[in-house]
Structure 1
Amino acid sequence: MRVLILRCGDAPLPADPPGTVLNLPEIPGRRDLRPLDALAAELLPADPTPSLDEISAQPDVPHLGAPGPAPQAPHLKERLRVVVVGTDAALSAVLTRMMRGDYLWAELAFVPVGESVVARNWGIDAPKAWDLALGGQVRPVPVIRSDQGIAVAGSATIRSWDDGEITGEIVVDSHVLLRHEAREDVRFNGVFGARLVPMVDAPGIAAVRATEPENPVLNWREKVARRLGGAPPLDPDSLATGRAVQAGGPALAVTVDGVRHRRPLERVTFYRHLRDLQVIRP
């Protein structure tokens, strides 16, 4: 098995890490990840399995059921395990490159640095993350992406560009998660958009409504009222699951793993990719 360790930023490493270490920026870009592209091409020069176009043309959708092993595995010259050491944003960047390069057959392990939604979702115990990354087994999960080709590692949010109440509609499959027109002077306990996370099984996405802004600034009276009211920042009763989340509105702020899209959008879709991710997790 070939092991490639992607050290993103100044993430700490063991004294004598196995495999090849590639030192990258905190959030690597496409150019930074060219060595990963080259290694994947070396280990699978030609993919004999059905292409993405061929999969999407199939009359049924078994590929959107329970996530499964990569069909390319029997054809590899050697297994490839990619260990990402860094933040959720770093993992999203690597996962996005793997998805766009169509080599999601590579095994992907994660050693989180700092607070990590991915670590919670995948059940990674930070003190044991290195042992898991190097010695753990593959347990496939769905890949969730946006229509702009960005992969979601841990979570994504859809909110109003000005961080006030949202005007627009968000739908999970055929279920309307919210349909709302923003009201003035609502500071909390309102309708502020949605947060979504990738699931580890079908159908792929779990989403809930947000009940307060991304960065609430409250005076002391509002803080007391919120504490007494017991309103959480997310509405757990609104939970909906599905294969796709579609949103539309005049000025949406879309953030993936802490990285905000550079401009407001009028529509965005998150959906399950046609291939699954070969994750190393407990």
Structure 2
Amino acid sequence: MVILRCGDVEVPAGLPGTVVSLPAIPGRRDLSLLDAAAAELLPEDPTPSLDDIARQPDVEHLTTPALAPQAPYLPEPLRVVVVGTDAALSAVLTRMMRGDYLWAEVAFVPVGESVAARNWGLDEPWSTALGGTVRPVPLIRTDLGIAVAGSATITNWEPGEITAEIIVNDHVLLRHEGREDVLFDGVFGARLVPMLDAPGIAAVQMREPENLELTFRQRLAHRFSGSTPLDPSSLATGRAVQAGGPALAVTVDGVRHRRPLERSTFYRHLRDLQIVRP
């Protein structure tokens, strides 16, 4: 068991395993210890590679999430406990995905507000992390190789309504040209979360910007407008979400991509996440 203390957070005394203190959002070098631990336990992976899986004629690997096929070949399990924010968890999952050792068990103890913890029902995170069992879920990633822990958004790079087309599988979630001076109750993008089962992604339209700042008059109008942050009637599920537009802002677990994008894709990874949850 490796317990990753991400940022200035407290952990109980006397925990089993190794406690490692890392930055609030750890980087690749910070997580090299996980690479080493995985390589020591499984120097060679005898199961089908990602290329092998991609070449399979069926889509069995994209149905109900499954336990890692590497488990029988491990001398002992490797459990990684992440103590931190959703952004910290995203960084750890991204490193594990890129290193291709998602067979490792992942437990999460959230610090602050956490969409991932709500998604997974982590009401007693420490007891679950230390004594819980694995229940696999789909792992959702971007085409830039970033894993989504709790949620992600696709919005306009500049403040205001979005100009874009966003498609979930073959369903058009939105096709919109942004209007000027629309502060709320408009079309501001899409919010997506990983599902617990196939197909993998649930997405809805955003009716308000992510950080809504209004004057007193605007707040009064907003109060009586009946506007809601998300449009539940737009809910769509699928294995992939594709977005295109002149200047898109892609934010994963609160971390915004450093530059605007013209295209972005989220999709279910070929390997499932071995998450410890109730």
- TM-score after normalising by structure 2: 0.99
1:221 Cα deviation (Å)? 2.6
Aligned residues: 278
Give the Cα separation in 1 of the matches to 2:213 and 2:18: 46
Cα shift at 1:17: 1.2
- 1:274 and 2:270 matched: yes
Of 224, 244, 256, the match for 1:260: 256
Coordinate RMSD, CA, aligned:
0.7
Q: 2:246 aligns with which of 244, 247, 250?
A: 250
Asked if 1:189 corresponds to 2:151, the answer is no
Choose which of 102, 116, 119 in structure 2 pairs with 1:118: 116
Look up the match of 1:67. 65
SS of residue in 1 equivalent to 2:274: strand
Question: Following TM superposition, by how much is the alpha carbon of 1:227 offset from its aligned partner in structure 2, in angstroms?
Answer: 1.4
Q: For residue 226 of structure 1, report the CA deviation from its aligned partner.
A: 1.9
Q: 1: CA distance between counterparts of 2:136 and 2:210?
A: 31
Distance 1:15 1:5 in 2: 12
Between the aligned partners of 1:217 and 1:83, the Cα distance in structure 2 is 36
Runs of 4+ in structure 1 off by over 3 angstroms are: none
Q: Within 1, Cα distance between the matches of 2:21 and 2:51?
A: 34
Q: 1:22 corresponds to which letter in structure 2?
A: V
Q: Which amino acid aligns with 1:210?
A: M
Which one of the candidate residues 202, 226, 235 is aligned to 2:231? 235
Aligned to 2:208: 212
2:120 is equivalent to residue 133 of structure 1: no
**Please, which runs of 5 or more residues in structure 2 have no aligned partner?**
none
Amino acid at match of 1:137: T
User: Equivalents in 1 of 2:173, 2:180: separation in Å?
Assistant: 21
Q: State the partner residue of 1:35.
A: 33
SS, match of residue 278 in structure 1 = coil
Question: AA paired with 1:84?
Answer: V
d(CA) in 2 for partners of 1:220 and 1:33? Answer: 46
Fraction of identical pairs, as percent: 76
Q: Which residue of 1 aligns with 2:15?
A: 17
CA deviations on 1:151-178 (whole Å, 9 max, x unpaired) are 0000000000012100010000000000
Counterpart Cα distance in 2 of 1:199 and 1:163: 29
